[in-house]
Amino acid sequence: MENPNLANFITSEEYKIFDFSFFTVVPKSLFLKPLYTIIFFTVFLLMIFIVISYFVSRYITNRITVSLRKLSENMKKFEKKEFKNINVDGFEDEIKTFLKVYNDVANELERYVENTELIIKNKTREIEIKNEKLRELSIKDELTGLYNRRFFNESFPKDCSLAFREKMYVNFAIIDLDDFKVINDTYGHQAGDECLRVFSKMFKESFHRESDKYFRYGGEEFVVYYISKEKTNFFEKLEKFRKEVERHILEYNGEKITFTISIGVVEEKQETSRYQDIISKADKNLYIAKNKGKNIVV
């Protein structure tokens, strides 16, 4: 057979005997049919494997996702700086392991935050106490323990403004120790300081109500005032105090020291917001008391 058409056949190697060529031929359709069947079943099995893998992965993913969502919902409930333990029941083993580590860290952080907050609270209180002490030192007179001129300048204008708004009385007095220079020159400055301390103690004992405000105005001058809705017996109280000071005898280094005070008083309803007017009137009355012979309330 010359030039046979072998396109539809699968042939073996060519063998020549004399002038003849020999082949083993199999039709392609007969050879490929089993191969097609194998490929089909292989593809079919592969598709089944893919489908099974998909559903298995979805199942596993869903189990893990549910745990993570549950974990996320638990953690969203926490407030800022709050570290609460999460119950591990109902979670997958992998998440349980994570939660156990988380709970250990949360407990440690909670202890740390509590300790830190306690330290901050204590330090803040210490600072507040120190600031209060500094404030007291800045507004009190060291020698007498009374409030100083600086605090008077802060307090009196505010109280006068309140009295003006509410149409209240301002009861105001400037007190001056008579001839204080003579005491210093005769008995010494330390004796003079003792006189100021003794006077200040008597001053606080006489004007001890919550509404009474008293100050060392400067040197041997002192101020006391309060505001009231009605007219009071302020003048009579000052007169009584003047007599107590006059009767008092201070014993210092074997010496018996007596001293007196002169007082300028203002008792009037506040008709203006100018607090300086009150001070000026009281100062003028004090000047009158000095000119009238001292040891007097004007």
**Strand, coil or helix: what is 2?**
coil
For residue 222, the surrounding DSSP H or E stretch is: strand 221-228
Which is catalytic among the residues 136, 220, 221, 239?
Answer: 220
Cβ burial 94-117 (10 Å sphere, 16+ → b, else e) = ebeebbeebbeebeeeeeeeeeee
The C-alpha atoms of residue 296 and residue 289 are separated, in whole angstroms, by: 6
Q: Facing residues of 257 across strands? A: 250
- What residues form DSSP beta bridges with 254? none
CA distances from 194 to 16, 69, 180, 200, 264 (A): 148, 79, 12, 10, 24
- The sheet with strand 169-177 has its strands ordered as 213-218, 221-228, 169-177, 261-269
Going 287 to 288 to 292 to 298, the CA torsion angle's sign is: negative
Q: Is 251 among the residues known to form the active site?
A: no
Distance, in Å, from the CA atom of 298 to the CA atom of 294, rounded to the nearest integer, reads 10
Rounded CA gap, 135 and 88, in Å? 55
CA 134 to chain centre: 20
The rounded distance, in Å, linking the Cα atoms of 152 and 186 is 31
Please state, in angstroms and rounded to a whole number, the distance separating the CA atoms of residues 261 and 177.
4
Q: How many residues does the chain have?
A: 298
Half-sphere CA count of 157, side-chain side, radius 13 A: 7
Could you give the residue numbers annotated as active site?
Answer: 220
